[in-house]
Amino acid sequence: MRRLLLLAPLLLFTAGCGVVQSSEDEATDAAREVARKAGERLYGQRPRTAAEVGRSASGIDGVEVLRVTGTSTHDGDGIDVVVRTSGSAYDGWLDPQEVAVRRCFAVRVSPRSKWRGDPRDVDCPDGPPLTFAPPPEPPRLPYEELRAKLLRVPDGGRVDEAEVRRTLAALDLHPAIRTEVKGDGGRVGVLLSVKGNGFDPQDCLLARVSPGATEVWVPPRIQRMPGEGGCTVGNALDPAPSPH
């Protein structure tokens, strides 16, 4: 009788709240949440190849990449990434035991993907996690060479934009380095840059040739972040104030 009285509140609680979720289900939900956050990290409108997406996914803590299908985020249905994640929960009240699971989910990366969408439960493919070669190192921007070879114009002189362009051509720059030259008000601005990944600071080099002064510099890191406008020929002509 005493045992029935002790169980009665628990039975009423269970009846009032519905079926109690098992510890394994809770652990699976935790693993799914890791996959969901991975999908949020991979989400974006920038075109990427399967290798780029796989490499990005493999760098997320708690994520193993087991399969990547598709060619590009902007081709067809995009790219599907099968990831394996882990989750845990505790079973029992008086002497709780940890229940840990490893589950696999498919995350779709495409411009049409839903933000914060739920990953699909899938069977784990056989085999070890995939590995990806590191991205190629960007070419070095020729700071010293540009500084040494850009023409110096005395006070009261005239800056020859064509001569600036010839100097850049003579540097025999790597094909991945983009150049832009612009004249304005007797000055000439120069931008040398390499394509960024849309997340990290972009590599760029600025120069300005004016009567009496030739300057070459790298903008501060915060100005080289995507959307900040530091890596533009306009910033070479009229530099933004340095952050404090």
For 33-52, the pLDDT digits (tens) are 999 999 999 998 888 999 99
Q: Is the pLDDT of residue 11 over 50?
A: no
Neighbours of 76 (CB within 10 A): 10
Using alpha carbons, select from 200, 188, 190 the residue that is nearest to residue 225: 200
Give the pairing of strands 120-122 and 187-193: unpaired
Cα distances from 216 to residues 147, 177, 184, in angstroms, run: 6, 16, 17
DSSP symbol at 22? P
Cα distances from 12 to residues 5, 17, 18, in angstroms, run: 11, 9, 10
What does the block give as tokens for 162?
């064509």
Give the residue extent of every domain in the chain.
22-122, 143-237
Please, is 137 exposed, middle or buried when counting C-beta atoms within 10 Å of its C-beta (0-12, 13-18, 19+)?
exposed
Three-state secondary-structure class, residue 122: strand
> Do the Cβ atoms of 103 and 121 come closer than 8 Å?
yes
| Positive/negative CA dihedral, 72, 65, 108, 137 | negative
> What phi and psi, each to the nearest 5 degrees, are found at residue 10?
-65, -40
Query: Where is 217: in which H helix or E strand?
Result: strand 213-217
Looking at 8-17, 81-90, 105-114, which range is the least confident one?
8-17
Looking at 22-31, 160-169, 196-205, 221-230, which range is the least confident one?
196-205
What does the block give as tokens for 149?
């070879």
For 87-146, the pLDDT digits (tens) are 999 987 766 888 999 999 999 999 988 888 889 999 999 999 999 988 888 899 999 999
